[in-house]
Structure 1
Amino acid sequence: MKYIPGKLNRLFTNYGMLPKDVIYDYPRVTMIGNIHLYIENHKGLLNFNEHEIIIKQDQGTIRIKGKQLVIKNLLAEEIVIEGVIDSVGWESSNT
């Protein structure tokens, strides 16, 4: 679902009709311990090595740092990362 402008967004989210991640096209991040990370609604991979993975989002980037990081699954809108995850951070874009 694409971004719905203005008051319609607030109507859908304030009255519980649709979750905010759907309306605003936000990523959904699920982490199991520090060994497994599942991200839905990503917009692509910007950088990858065994110590850092950077994932593009409409509103910025998600930066994962750790050791022995591997991408177990990469699909059009979801990604699964495993390894020893030290940090997951969000960097907003200025647009």
Structure 2
Amino acid sequence: MESKLTRTKETLAEKLDLPRDVILNIPKITITGNNEIIVENHKGVILFEEKEIRINSNVGLIAIYGSGFEILFMGGSTLTVSGKFKSVVYEGNE
């Protein structure tokens, strides 16, 4: 049932030219260089360490690896992190 609802939302977003991330409540990740990441539509920070961050979302866990992480902004469903990033990994729903 949920997949049919998701397909309907996707079709609606496409037909009305609406942003998919808003309609489907999926994360939007904006990476600026290798030193700033903005994650929108997240469901909370699971782990925050100097070399690893894990963020919960509707598509599962998102892991960010690197060093020197610092939270610049956290409000509502938006998170901005600075540091030196090596990789961003979608770990899925496990």
TM-score by length of 2: 0.86
RMSD: 1.8
Is residue 2:19 matched to residue 1:19?
A: yes
**Paired residues, number:** 91
More helix by share: 2
Distance 1:5 1:72, change over 3 A: same
Is residue 2:69 matched to residue 1:34?
A: no
Distance 1:19 1:51, change over 3 A: same
Structure 1 spans left out of the alignment, 5+ residues? none
Whole-Å separation in 2 of the counterparts to 1:45 and 1:59:
14
Whole-Å separation in 2 of the counterparts to 1:48 and 1:69:
8
**Deviation, structure 1 residue 80:** 0.4
State percent identity of aligned pairs.
Answer: 31
Give runs of ≥4 in structure 1 deviating > 4 Å: none
SS at match of 1:39: strand
Whole-Å separation in 2 of the counterparts to 1:68 and 1:23:
34
Mapping of residues 65-76 of structure 1, within 5 Å: 65-76=65-76
Distance 1:9 1:85, change over 3 A: same
Structure 2 spans left out of the alignment, 5+ residues? none
**Deviation, structure 1 residue 13:** 2.6
Q: Which residue pairs with 2:56 in the alignment?
A: 56
Distance 1:7 1:37, change over 3 A: closer
